[in-house]
Amino acid sequence: MKKKKKKKNHHKEGFSKSKLFDLILVVFRKNPNKKLNYKELSKKLAVKDLGVRIQIIDVMKEMTLSGILNEAPVGSFRLVEKTTTLISTIKNTNSRGGYVELGVENEVFIPKEYSRFTLTGDEVEILLFPKKKNKQEGGVVRVINRKKTDFVGVIDTFSSNYFLISDDKRVSFDVFIPPKTIKKEYLNKKVVVRVEGWDEKYKNPIGRVIEVIGEINDHNTEINSILYNYGFAPKFPKKVEKEANKIIEKISEIEINKRLDLRKTCTFTIDPKDAKDFDDALSVKQLKSGNWEIGVHIADVSYYVEKGGVIDKEAAERATSIYLVDRVIPMLPEVLSNNICSLKPNIDRLAYSVLFEMDERANLIDYSIHKTVIHSDVRFTYQTAQDVIDNKKGALDTELLLLDKLSKILKKKRQENGSINFESSEVKFILDSNNNPIDVYFKESLSTNHLIEEFMLLANKTVAKHIGFPKKEAKNFVYRVHDTPDSDRIATLNNIVKKFGYSINNDSSHKLSQSLNGLLKNVRGKNEQRMVETLTIRSMAKAVYTPDNIGHYGLAFDYYSHFTSPIRRYPDLIVHRLLSRYIDGGKSTNKEALEKTCKHCSEMEKVASSAERDSIKYMQVKFLKNKIGEVFDGVISGVTEWGLYVEITENKCEGLVKVSGIKNDHYVFDEKKCALIGCRTKASYQLGQKVKIKIQKADLERKQTLF
């Protein structure tokens, strides 16, 4: 743990004019609208030495002659740089400062001394400084909204004062904790500290301990620390749990009579082996016409979760369930997510259903949307359902074989229309009784995974089109949109894949999607597969929630939403409510409020994804900790100016080879080639390249392995 150095008074004799110039400019830029005299300035700079104070007066006079400061009245100075202020959001931060985005391609660098302790996601008012050598810098004038006020870490006890050293290494400051607030049980533990004072006249923000998470290096402590660090509480507030426990599970006859009763229709679920929250079920029934009625039944969460109630507010804030390596942190209390709303077998459940009439060739003849009551007859896992399909016999073999056939046709049609076919394998850990990882394996997708995926896609697309078409008459709704890829990134990808004999056609969006599908198919099993897949994913836009429908490029759908997982995604719950409202003839909801909720849900989806990645990194480091010195085959999965990220082939664990650790040459990062290139030897380490690595260090605190 690093020691906290006592604050030193640097402002003594021997200050150079250029150093004083920089310090004075920092003070005026932090206070762009204030008049300051030499006494006030000396106080802000903590200068007591008379000689330095006289120097300050001389430098301010020179700055006035240069047109940087204005003196009025005599002895008082104000900044007169030509500046502009604007409101934006901090895009990212590092140890030197942060970046603010201006428009699509312009960025402003905020040096640390002008940052006012801001972090990624903070909404700020910034002052633009005059450009120097075509570089735009600025300073934070005012913090409008701080996204993060709670920080996870360990209290430093190596000095006379107490400081929280944050687990998150992107936080460039420590938090001062007043000694009178410290208790013995806070020390040598992981804690959560809430910042309550951000005043820049102090060297550090000031906070207090609000939660003791647990013992350092304890497994549960570390996993919970990840959750707290990203703003997710592992447990629900007592008032939310209390409200959830009041909900009656038994369905009243009055409610059943209001709904389409499908309890006699053959219905079943297909989910992962360890799943408890069954969002969706399928049903199959042959119609008199010879066509098939395929039902997609989704848990009717909106019936149980009252809009604006305490459960709803908590769900809206969380926005999503989080799937960590060893646990699920649900969006809804478990009494709802794992029981009352879950479409468990052999029990009546309320659902929101889309019934599709289809022929044997998967042509959609008609559809209808209903509030229903269903009764699941069988609970399949992906594997048990796959066994029935593979063996062509077993429980509900007719229904499963039909759905398998239809889903494959739907997938083929979707890809012919331009849907991009990304295949992914999920990393899973086998844990011992103490939650230590003893093995890693890849969870490959089965035919039944794709079966469920196709019918969920169909339901999501159908619901979105039901409300959104025609566009002129459409009421405000939540769409899941995916923009076309960035043309510059596609051009970069094309330049790289040309070296391997491939090419990309970007003449139109449809030709591009066909070309990308062909590329992904052709690289399968080749040395360059990992590199091409990684770069292709990076060239894609991020899918988001919004009321403005632009379609979903990756799926090649003009209309798409999220309807099928209301237990674990808040946007799906909104979609259920809006669907009911509009089917009943209700007015269009307020677009501005909907946009705000959509933006929050998109952001929380990214935050949850980061938390999930951190839990995987932590477990990977834990797994490799006992393998120091061992040599593995790997593939370069990332290239940066500070080194190479390498993914071990046999277990997908990732680590960093620092550029300083490549001894045979001085290597420079080439962004366009995604490579480190040796200045003397011209040797190249490129994304996707196969390498051998030795494990050098496994740092659990930083969740990082060095190769």
Helix axes 570-583, 310-318, angle to 10 degrees: 120
Q: What share of the chain is helix, strand, coil (3-state, %, to 5)?
A: 35, 30, 40
pLDDT above 70 as % of the chain = 97
pLDDT in tens, 672-699: 788 899 999 999 998 878 899 999 999 8
Contact 669, 639 (CB under 8 A): yes
The per-residue pLDDT for 238 is 96
pLDDT in tens, 124-149: 998 888 777 778 888 888 899 999 99
Name the more confident of 419 and 67.
419
Distance CA 437, CA 430 (A): 6
Q: Tell whether the model's pLDDT for residue 237 goes beyond 90.
A: yes
Cβ-Cβ contacts under 8 Å for 501 (sequence gap 6 or more) = none
Strands 631-640 and 643-648, sheet pairing: antiparallel
Contact 691, 646 (CB under 8 A): yes
Alpha helices, DSSP H only, in 45-136?
50-65
Q: Tell whether the model's pLDDT for residue 102 goes beyond 80.
A: no
The per-residue pLDDT for 62 is 86
Number of Cβ atoms within 10 Å of the Cβ of 265: 19
**This prediction's pTM:** 0.86
3-state secondary structure 623-634: HHHHHCCCEEEE
Specify the residue for token string 């762009």.
Answer: 32
Distance CA 540, CA 560 (A): 17
Contact 278, 343 (CB under 8 A): yes
Name the more confident of 31 and 549.
549
Average confidence score pLDDT of the chain: 90
331-345, 426-440, 523-537: which range is least confident on average?
A: 523-537
Specify the residue for token string 């990194």.
Answer: 617
Name the more confident of 336 and 128.
336
**Mean pLDDT, residues 444-455 taken together:** 94
- Cα–chain center distance at 173: 23
Specify the residue for token string 């450009």.
Answer: 131
pLDDT in tens, 465-510: 999 998 888 999 999 999 999 888 898 888 888 888 899 998 888 8
Q: Tell whether the model's pLDDT for residue 20 goes beyond 90.
A: no
pLDDT in tens, 80-90: 876 677 888 99
Q: Tell whether the model's pLDDT for residue 548 goes beyond 70.
A: yes
Specify the residue for token string 């399928």.
Answer: 282
DSSP 271: E
**Mean pLDDT, residues 557-573 taken together:** 98
The per-residue pLDDT for 104 is 60
pLDDT in tens, 569-611: 999 999 999 999 999 999 999 999 999 999 999 999 999 999 9
Q: Tell whether the model's pLDDT for residue 10 goes beyond 70.
A: no
Cβ-Cβ contacts under 8 Å for 287 (sequence gap 6 or more) = 293, 357
Name the more confident of 421 and 253.
253
Q: Tell whether the model's pLDDT for residue 9 goes beyond 70.
A: no
Domains of the chain: 17-79 (1.10.10.10), 84-145 (2.40.50.140), 150-216 (2.40.50.700), 239-415+424-461 (no CATH), 471-611 (no CATH), 628-706 (2.40.50.140)
Cβ-Cβ contacts under 8 Å for 516 (sequence gap 6 or more) = 420, 504, 536
**pLDDT category of residue 47 using cuts at 50, 70 and 90:** confident
The per-residue pLDDT for 105 is 63
**Mean pLDDT, residues 214-241 taken together:** 93
Which region holds residue 98: left if phi is over 0, alpha if psi is between -120 and 50, else beta?
Answer: beta
- φ, ψ for residue 318 (rounded to 5)? -70, -40
The per-residue pLDDT for 183 is 94
Q: Tell whether the model's pLDDT for residue 15 goes beyond 90.
A: no
* CA nearest neighbour of 637 among 500, 529, 525, 486: 529
pLDDT in tens, 614-640: 999 999 999 999 899 999 999 888 899
Q: Tell whether the model's pLDDT for residue 406 goes beyond 90.
A: yes
